[in-house]
Structure 1
Amino acid sequence: MTADRSRTSGESGAAARYGDAEPPAVARPASAAHQLLRVLGALLREDVAGLRTRSTLLHRTDGPWLRLATGPGSALLLPVREDGFQGTWGARLPLLRQEPDGTDLATTDEVLDALARLAAPEDAPGYAAFAEECRSDLAARRLHAATRAPVLARLTDRHGPDPAHWRGHTGALAHDTLAARTDHPVHPVSRGRKGLGERELRAYAPEFHPRFALRWLSLPAGRVTVAPGTGPDAAPAPYTASETGGVPLHDGWPTPAELGLPAGHHEGHVLLPVHPLTAAGRLRDVLAVTGLAGHAVLAERPMLDAVPTLSMRTVALAVLPDTHLKLPLATATLGLLNRRTVTPGSLRDGAAGQRLLEGVLRREPRFAGRVLLADETNYAHAGHELLAVLRRTQPAGLDDAAVLPLAALPAPAPDGRPVIEHLADRFHGGDPVALADAVLTLLLDWQTTLFGHGIALESHQQNVSLVLGGGTDGPRLLLKDNDGPRVHTRRLAEAWGCAEPTADSLGFADGRICGTEDAPVADLFTTITVHLCAGSLAFGLAAHGTAPLDRLLGLIRDRLAEAIDRTAVTMPGAAAVLRARVLEAPELPVKAMVTAGTLLTKARSGAADINKHYTTGPNYLLRKA
C-alpha cells in the first residue's frame, strides 16, 4: 500500500510513512521491494534473531539504523523509519546490510539465509519454509499486477463501474475480489498459497473472480455426522437452540441420479460437496486412511457452479449466492501451520459460537437488526479434516444493500479510489470520515459489549461485513466464522445470571476457548477488533490520503472510550480491564504470525494456538503529550 503524498499534506508524519512508502530501487521490481520491506518489518516486529531487542540504535545522516552484532567485528544493519501501527520501527531502503563487508542483502532468500545462521539448527526448516512462502507470495503479487486490468474489467462488466452499487450477496463476491488483492495488515506474505501455482490461482482464488463447478462424494450415511441433530458428536444446544432455523443441508444440491452415481448410492448415502482442488489432490489417500475407499464414490460429473469468497476455501453458490459452502483445502495461508482444512471440532465450535452470540443479542436488544449473524448450524463431516462441509446461510433481505467485508473498505476500486469513498458518496453525503465514524461506533460498541459478557471473537476484517442501505438507515454488521472465540466464563455467568458454564456445556469442542482470566479475552479483542478491524482501516485510509491519521486514530480512541463508559454502567469490572489494557496501556499485544505460523514449531514457539501468539507493539491510541 503506497501513500499518495499529494493528497496527505494535512496528515501526520506517521501517516505519510505508513505502508512502506519508500521508493523502490531502480533495478528491482516494485513488487519485490515492497515485499522485502514488509518481510523485514515483520521480522523486526516479531524480534526474529533479536532484531528488535538486541540491536543498537544508530543515527546516521540518512536516518536511523539498527545494528545487530552477530560476532566479533560482524553485524547486520537495518535502516528503519518510524512506524507506529504495530511496531515502533519499520524497514526502509537500502535494506539489510552486512558488516564488515558492506554487502546489501537485496532478496528475501539472502535475508532469511543470514538470519537462519543466527538461529538454532532445529529451526532451519522453518526459515526454509518461510523463504518458499516469500517466493510464492512474490509470484502471486506479480500475477496480481499483470491481471489487474482484465479482472477489474470483468467486475465492471458483471456488477457495474461503481462498487457502491454492487448489491446483495452477489455484489459481496465482487468486493471480496478487491479485498483479496490487498495486503494483510500483519502477515507480510499473505498472497501466496502453499502448493498452488498460477493455473490453480486463476481457476479458484477469489482475486480472479472465477466460477467453477463442484465435485461430489457419496458416502454411507452411517459414516457421516450431520448437524443439527444427528451423529454421535452433534453439538448440544445450551440455553436455547438457534433461532435462525437453517436450511436442510442438501437443499439446492444435485441428486445422485443427476450426478450419474450408481443405483446403490441413491439411498442410504450422503452427498458431500468437494472442492475440485481437493478432489484432484489428496482425496484418494484420505479415503484410504479413513477406511472409506471401498464405500465412497466420487461422481465423475461436476455440478453446481460456485464462486470463491475472500476465504478461498469458502465458496458461494452461483444460483444461491446467500448460500456459502466451507470446503476443506489441502493448502495453507498466512503461515505453514495455518492449514485450510475444516476439522470436525471447528464445525461444532462455530455453531456453539453462533448460539452464544444469539444469547447476547437477546439480552442486548439495542443491537437488534444492527448486528446480523450468518447461520452456521448446518454441517456434515466424515471424521476427517478433508471430508467436511459447512453450509452457511446468509441473512435474507439484503438484495438491495451493499454488503462487503471490512477488508474491502480501504481497497482500491476500479477507478483507484478506496471503496469507502464510493460508499460515502452514496450513503454518507460524500464524507468518508463520517462513514468510518459510523462504522467504528457500531463495531466498537458491539465488541465492547461482548467483552462485558466475557466474550471476544476472532472477527477480523474478513469475518465482519458491513451492510449499508437495503431499507435501513445507518450501518449494520454481519458476522460469520465464530469458531475461535475466547470466553471468560465467570464474566459470562455474571452477565447472564446463570451458573458458571464450561466449554462442554456451551457446546464447544475446543477446551481452550473457555477460561477464567481476562488476558486471553483482552488480547483477542485488541489484536482482532482494535488492530485488524479499526486500526488497519485508519492507517490504510491515511495512506490513501483519505483523511489525516491523527483524526482517524482520534475517532477510534473516542468511540472506544465511549463504548467502555457505556459498559462500565452495568459491567464495571470488564470496562476497567479494557481501559487499562487497551486505552491506557503503554504497549499493545500484536500477532506474531510469522514466528508461530512458519519459523518455529509449536514446541519451539510455545504457541498453544498459532493464531493467538503475540509479541508487543506501541499503543497508537494513547493521547499525545
Structure 2
Amino acid sequence: MSPSPSAEIRLARELAGVRPDLSAAYAAALPGARAAVLSRLWRALVHEPLPWTVRREPTREGLVLRLADGRRLHGPPADPYATTAYVTEVQLDGRAYDRAAELVTALGVPGGAAFAAELDDSTASLALSRADQPDSAPEPVTGWAWEQRVVDGHPYHPNCRSRPGFSVAEQLAYGPEHRPLVRLGLVPADDGVLRGEWPAWLWEGGRPLVPVHPWQTAHVLGGAAHDGPVAHPLLSLRTLALSDAGPHVKTAVSARLTSSVRDISVASVETALVVSEFAESVAARTDGLLRVTRTLGAFTAHSPDLAAVVRESPESCADPAAGERVVPVAALPATGLAASPAWLAAFTRLALTVGLRLLDLGVALEAHGQNLLVVLGPANEPLRLVYRDLADIRVSPARLARHGIKAPEVADRMVTDDETALRRKLFGSLVGGSLAATAGSAPALGAALEAVVRKLPATSDLAALREEPLPAKALTLMRLSPGRGGDLWTQLPNPLVRMPDPWDQ
C-alpha cells in the first residue's frame, strides 16, 4: 500500500482544480514556508522542556541537542524571539531534514504522528497564504484591512497556519490573508442563553438568530442557514467585521486552528457581560491608556457549536478626525515602524505601563498580537492600547481587594491568586509575544526593554520581569501532550539578564 501524499502535494492538486493561476506561486513559496515552520519548530526543540531531550550543548557552529535515546540533533543558534525564517535544515544524526513534518516523523516521539500531520498542513497552508499576495498594495486605511496583512499567522507556533478540515477552496474563501468577503449564515434558535442586547437584525419572528460561519454550517451543523450579511474575516478567521467601523461578530468554528478548537463555550456566553463590564471598569483606571472593546451581546443555543458574540469594533476607540488609526499589534511589523528603536521603545513603554498597572490591580491580560491593538496618532506615535476578546484573562481577588475592587463572578478558570500564573499570563503574551514579535529579535527586544524598565513604577512584578527568565507557552510540548489539559510552560532567556557566553570560560 503506497503512503498517503503529503499535504504539500494534496494542496497542489486541489489548487490546480480551483485556482490554477496560483500554482506556480505556490510552488515558489514552498521553500520559504518550509524554512518558516522549521524555524519555529527548532525554537521549540531548543527552548521547550521536551522529555526526550536531555541536554543542549552550544558549539561554535550552532547547537547540539542530545536525545534520551543517544541520537543528536544539530542546528543553528536559536534566538527565541527571532521572527525571520533562519533555519533551512536540521540534522538528526548527520541526516539533514528541511521539512518539519519529516523531522518529527524521524524523531518517532510519543504523539509525533499527529503533530507531524499538523506541521505538514501548516507548511502547505503557509505557502498558499504567501502565494496569494498582491505584488503591491496601498497602505490599509481600516483595521480589518490591517488584520488581513498578517500573512504568516502566529509568529512562534510551528502550527502557524495549520487548518485541518479546510479544503483549498475553503481556505481561499475564509482565510483573512486571502482578503475575501464571507457571507454569514443565520440560524433561528428556539431556546438558548442570551446576555446583553442582541442586535435587531438578529431577530426573526420573536426568535433570536445565531450568526454562523459558513464552514460551521457545512461541516458541523449539517443544515442550511438563512443568508446573512457579508463581512471581512479578521486575524482569528472566525471573527468578522461587518463593515469598516461596524461591530465584530465572533462565531463558533469547531475546528482546530493553530492548536485550539475555536468553538464558544456556554460558560463564556453566560459570563460575557460580567467580564466585559468588569474589564471596562478596570481599564478606566489607566488614565486613558487602555480601552476595552465592549461585549454588546452574546448568545448560545446551549451548545459550543452554535453560539456567537457581538462586540464593539476597535475602530470605535480611535478618532479619525484627529488623524488616529487602530492597528493590531500582530500587523505592526508590516508597518515598518518597529525598525525605529525610538518608536519601539515608546510602544514598549506604553504596553508595559498598561500591562503592569492592570497586573498590579489584579487583572492579567492575555495580550498577544491578536488580542492587543494600538491606536496610532497622526505622526504614528503610539497613543493608547485597545484590548479585545476577554475569554482568557486572569483575575486575582486578593490583588483586587488590596485596591478596594470587588472581584467579579466569573468562571473559576479565570480566577487565581497565584503570582506565577498571573505573571505567566501577562509576560508570556505581552513580552514574549507582542513585544518580542514586534521587535523581531532578542537584541532588539532587549534594547527596547532596557530603555523602558528603569523608568517604570517599582513593583514586585517589574522586579520579576527584570530579573527572571521570561515565561512562554510550550506550544509544541502542548501539541505532543494530547492527554494533558491546560497550558504548559517553558522559560526563555531574558534579554535583560546577561547570560555567560560558554566560549568566554
Match of 1:65 in 2: 64
Paired residue for 2:480?
A: 599
8 Å CA contact 2:37, 2:123 repeated in 1: yes
In 1, Cα distance between the equivalents of 2:101 and 2:307? 37
TM-score by length of 2: 0.84
1:132 counterpart SS class: helix
Summarize the Cα distance change of 1:361–1:30 in structure 2 as closer, same or farther, 3 Å threshold: closer
Residue 250 of structure 1 is matched in structure 2 by 199
CA contact (8 A) 1:438 1:475 kept: no
What residue in structure 1 maps to residue 465 of structure 2? 582
Contact 1:66 1:80 in 2 (8 A): no
C-alpha RMSD over aligned residues:
3.0
SS in 1 for 2:456: helix
Task: Name the stretch that deviates more: 397-406 or 439-448.
Answer: 397-406
Deviation at 1:488, TM superposition (A): 1.9
Superposition deviation, residue 302 in structure 1: 1.6
Spell out, residue by residue over 1:545-593, the C-alpha distance to the aligned partner (whole angstroms, 9 max, x if none).
xxxx64652322342342232xxxxxxxxx12430x22111x2222111
- Alpha-carbon distance change, 404 to 86 in structure 1, aligned in 2, over 3 angstroms: closer
Aligned pairs (5 A) from 1:308-327: 308-318=233-243, 321-327=245-251
Residue 115 of structure 1 aligns with an amino acid whose one-letter code is L
Match for residue 366 of structure 2 among 450, 458, 479: 458
Question: Residue in 2 aligned with 1:381?
Answer: 300
* Structure 1 position 404 matched with structure 2 position 327: yes
Instruction: Report if the CA contact (8 A) 1:78-1:91 is conserved.
Output: no
> Which is further off, 436-445 or 396-405?
396-405
Question: Would the aligned equivalents of 1:458 and 1:528 in 2 still touch at CA under 8 Å?
Answer: yes
Partner of 1:283: 221
SS at match of 1:475: strand
| Residue among 500, 525, 534 paired with 2:426 | 525
Q: Secondary structure at the match of 2:116?
A: helix
Q: 2:159 aligns with which of 185, 189, 205?
A: 189
Name the structure 2 match of 1:77.
73
Gaps of 5+ in 2: 1-27, 501-505
* Partner residue of 1:219 out of 152, 177, 189: 189
Give CA deviations for 1:462-517 in whole Å, capped at 9, x if unaligned. 1111112379985121111112112221111011265xx4xxxx1312x1221222
Inter-partner Cα distance in structure 1 for 2:381 and 2:333: 22
Q: Which amino acid aligns with 1:145?
A: R
2:268 to 333, 346, 361: 346
Q: Name the amino acid aligned to 1:172.
A: G
**C-alpha distance in 2, partners of 1:582/1:86?**
20
1:177 corresponds to 2:177:
no
**Alpha carbons of structure 1 residues 63 and 325: separation in structure 2 relative to 1, 3 Å:** closer
Compare relative contact order (CA 8 Å, sep 6+) and give the higher one, 1 or 2. 1
Structure 1 residues 349 and 410: alpha-carbon distance in aligned structure 2, compared to 1, 3 A threshold: farther
- The 8 Å contact of residues 445 and 495 in structure 2, kept in 1 or not, is answered as no
User: Do residues 97 (structure 1) and 16 (structure 2) align?
Assistant: no
Which of 239, 242, 252 matches 1:328?
A: 252
Question: Is 1:173–1:307's contact at 8 Å kept on the other side of the alignment?
Answer: yes
Following TM superposition, by how much is the alpha carbon of 1:270 offset from its aligned partner in structure 2, in angstroms? 1.4
Q: Which runs of 5+ in 1 are unaligned?
A: 1-25, 229-247, 257-265, 285-296, 412-418, 425-430, 543-548, 566-574
* Inter-CA distance 303–86: structure 2 relative to 1 (3 Å threshold): closer
Local SS of the residue matching 2:75: strand
User: Are the structure 2 counterparts of residues 561 and 385 from structure 1 closer, same or farther at C-alpha, using a change threshold of 3 Å?
Assistant: farther
Structure 2 CA distance for aligned equivalents of residues 276 and 189 of structure 1: 23
CA 1:440–1:348 in 2, change beyond 3 Å: closer, same or farther? farther
Q: Percent identity?
A: 26
Q: Deviations over 1:158-204 (max 9, x none)?
A: xxx234xx1xxxx111110112x134232122112121121101101
Please state how far the C-alpha of 1:58 moved relative to its aligned partner. 6.4
Structure 2 residue matching 1:564: 3-state secondary structure = coil
Pair 472,59 (structure 1): closer, same or farther in 2 beyond 3 Å: closer
1:35-50 matches, cutoff 5 A = 35-50=37-52
Task: Supply the AA of the counterpart residue of 1:277.
Answer: W
Residue 319 of structure 2 corresponds to residue 367 of structure 1:
no
Give the secondary structure class of the aligned counterpart of 2:90.
coil
- Measured after TM superposition, the shift of residue 528 of structure 1 is 1.0
Change (3 A) 1:325 1:552: same
Correspondence 1:105-184 to 2 at 5 A: 105-116=97-108, 119=109, 123=110, 126-149=111-134, 156=137, 161-163=138-140, 166=141, 171-179=142-150, 181-184=151-154
**Equivalent residues of 2:247, 2:312 under 8 A apart:** yes
Aligned to 1:4: none
Distance in structure 2 (CA, Å) of the matches to 1:470 and 1:77: 49
SS in 1 for 2:200: coil
The Cα of 1:227 is off from its aligned counterpart by: 0.8
Relative to structure 1, the CA distance from residue 584 to residue 349 in structure 2 (aligned partners, 3 Å threshold; closer, same or farther) is farther
Q: Give how far 1:93 is off.
A: 5.2
Paired residue secondary structure (1:403):
strand
SS across alignment from 1:139: helix
Between Structure 1 and Structure 2, how many residues are aligned? 468
Find the residue that maps to 2:390 and give its secondary structure. Answer: coil
- Superposed displacement of residue 250, structure 1: 2.1
**Which AA in structure 2 matches 1:616?**
Q
Structure 2 CA distance for aligned equivalents of residues 351 and 459 of structure 1: 20
**Distance change >3 Å, CA 91–CA 143, structure 1 → 2:** closer
Change over 3 Å in CA distance of 1:478–1:529 after alignment to 2: same
In structure 2, what is the equivalent of residue 416 of structure 1?
Answer: none
**What code does the residue aligned with 1:622 have?**
V
Amino acid across the alignment from 1:202: L
